[in-house]
Chain A
């Protein structure tokens, strides 16, 4: 009898230990999945900042071997690109694209988890600007492997996406501009004109906020194509609007071709976590909530300057990803705070009811809730801070092109050199990434 009881008791203890360890493992998994993306991104980006992009890529490739997380695939795609693997980059970005598509629609379980545990348990599909830039980078990969038709396909997909978002057109200015460049290089000037017009509309409406002011280069492109298609009344009205009354469309010559220089400058901002106590009227208590913020101010970028054939050209900012990221978070903030408050109440109630059954359970629940309260710091942080562009008309033949990076004093801190071939009446692309000046030990920077 006594033995039987002892056996039952031992069984119970065993079961309890078993269940506890399973619970513990569960919590560990939760905590692990909560390990913020921000800290991973910081380590990953170190390589880029030290001029060793291959290190960044190695760190990125270790993450998410099953290729299920959009954010990991986006980072891999960008870093493969920076390391010159354009085909590999497109392969993984295509994976990201498919995963984003799978995340379409409102998830019930993920939203429940977001309210019960934290926001990082929601599938990350990327902000709208990130989803559009995904297509833009894939298009640039296709350009760089010489498949301009593939680039065109990507632009059409971005177009469908913008169309789907419908009534409040969330068009991306750079994507539209790039679309125009691709159409024009394919000889489809009528389509290019439409893209330039749309890009200009975005710059005009949102310039100075989440977009830079309309680049002069785009204005010239718009006027040039309007003149070519003899849309004179629109040409005149734009000329007046741009205050470019002296503008004359350049003559087309067989002896010239065009170079489009695109520079991806700096690195996008990283989201950090801020936790504050907020007072809940529902439970009459101060509750701790965590939410993402941009802790660092916008960084001052080095100024790129293109030089070809002893001539210098300044580049124009066509996309300000820093501003886009901050704006996007600002737009999402009311929703994030709403869910955070709801979550805090749910967590408070679990603590409270656990505390009623036993003090230890209540304490454990409080700890768990504290640990699991993490902000969602995910964003595509391998994106550049800004994209800069310059179109240069050049004589047919080979040219040595340099992009110098200037500091605030106008002194060059780094230079990118590349030989380009210009073909008659064709567009050549020179697309480069630059993150930071590489600290060169024992080496004088020569101009």
Chain B
């Protein structure tokens, strides 16, 4: 009688230990970078990708490119300005801006110049070359290409919530502004809406 009791006790403890051990090993599964993984309902890679896709497709298909080509006889040069995060989440805007930049550069129709933060490092390198590089390979200062357009934007959100349920609406606006004339030549927009429901119970 007492032995069976003990055995059950041991079993319970054993299963507990096993459970604990199982919890120690993280399971890793590799997934395609295009797959949708919505975990918490917050801004994630899928949102960033959707924005990049929409914006790239839009910015390459609009008339500002051909117009500029016709009038200036060269492809436009763009600089990335700031994309302000006015949403309720800490969103890294660099991801979709970098996606856009890559697609535009690779399309061969648009050229990009280094942004304000990137420039400093490049300039210090050029200055360093002035002292240390051979004459043939040395790059001169003051030979940078001035940008024709600046890409600016913002992320805004509207959140509606009652206990346990949320509706999140993201609006991402990007505009290309012609430097000098301040004309807006392109405006891209992407809207994303999600509903998030939280469970009322947990273990």
Q: Is B3 a contact of A12 with CB atoms below 8 Å?
A: yes
A165: chain B residues at CB < 8 Å are: 163
Instruction: Produce 1/0 per residue, A305-328, CB < 8 A to B.
Output: 000000000000000000000000
Partner of B40, one of A19, A101, A152, A153: A101
A105: chain B residues at CB < 8 Å are: 164, 198-202
Instruction: Produce 1/0 per residue, A78-112, CB < 8 A to B.
Output: 00000000000000000000000101111111000
Report the separation of the CA atoms of residues A159 and B2 in the bound assembly, to the nearest whole angstrom: 59
Closest to A102 in B: B202
Known: A105-B199, A149-B84. A160 touches B90 (CB 8 A): no
Interface of A is mostly: helix
- A164 within 8 A of partner (CB): yes
- B13 within 8 A of partner (CB): yes
Q: How large is the interface on A (under 10, 10 to 19, 20 to 34, 35 or more residues)?
A: 20 to 34
Q: Is A153 a contact of B201 with CB atoms below 8 Å?
A: no
Report the separation of the CA atoms of residues A314 and B114 in the bound assembly, to the nearest whole angstrom: 49
Q: Which of A100-138 contact B (CB under 8 A)?
A: 101, 103-109
Q: Is A153 a contact of B163 with CB atoms below 8 Å?
A: no
Q: Is A159 a contact of B198 with CB atoms below 8 Å?
A: no
Known: A12-B3, A22-B13. A150 touches B90 (CB 8 A): yes
Instruction: Produce 1/0 per residue, A138-155, CB < 8 A to B.
Output: 000000000001101100
Known: A12-B3, A153-B87. A164 touches B162 (CB 8 A): yes
Report the separation of the CA atoms of residues A345 and B167 in the bound assembly, to the nearest whole angstrom: 44
B87: chain A residues at CB < 8 Å are: 153, 156
- A157 within 8 A of partner (CB): yes
User: Closest CB of chain A to B160's CB: distance in Å?
Assistant: 8
- A166 within 8 A of partner (CB): yes
- B36 within 8 A of partner (CB): no
Number of interface residues of B (CB under 8 A): 28
Q: Which of B1-16 contact A (CB under 8 A)?
A: 2-3, 6, 9-10, 13
Q: Is B10 a contact of A149 with CB atoms below 8 Å?
A: no
Q: Which of B88-116 contact A (CB under 8 A)?
A: 88-90
Known: A19-B10, A149-B85. A106 touches B3 (CB 8 A): no
Q: Is B162 a contact of A109 with CB atoms below 8 Å?
A: no
Q: Is A107 a contact of B202 with CB atoms below 8 Å?
A: yes
Q: Is B85 a contact of A153 with CB atoms below 8 Å?
A: yes
Report the separation of the CA atoms of residues A107 and B199 in the bound assembly, to the nearest whole angstrom: 11
Q: Which of A1-60 contact B (CB under 8 A)?
A: 12, 15-16, 18-19, 22
- A163 within 8 A of partner (CB): yes
Report the separation of the CA atoms of residues A165 and B86 in the bound assembly, to the nearest whole angstrom: 23
Q: Is A152 a contact of B202 with CB atoms below 8 Å?
A: no
Instruction: Produce 1/0 per residue, B149-170, CB < 8 A to A.
Output: 0000000010111111010000
Report the separation of the CA atoms of residues A163 and B9 in the bound assembly, to the nearest whole angstrom: 48
Closest to A104 in B: B198
Chain B residues within CB distance 8 Å of chain A:
2-3, 6, 9-10, 13, 40, 84-90, 157, 159-164, 166, 198-203
Given A12-B3, A105-B200; 17 other pairs, CB 8 A cutoff: A12-B6, A15-B10, A19-B10, A104-B199, A105-B202, A108-B203, A109-B203, A152-B86, A153-B85, A153-B90, A156-B87, A156-B159, A157-B89, A160-B159, A160-B161, A160-B166, A166-B162
- Could you list some 23 contacts between A and B, CB below 8 A? A12-B3, A15-B6, A15-B10, A16-B6, A18-B10, A19-B6, A19-B9, A19-B10, A106-B202, A107-B202, A108-B202, A149-B85, A149-B86, A150-B90, A152-B86, A153-B87, A153-B89, A156-B88, A160-B88, A164-B161, A164-B163, A164-B166, A165-B163
The 6 closest A-B CB pairs, nearest first, are: A156-B88, A164-B161, A105-B202, A163-B161, A160-B159, A15-B6
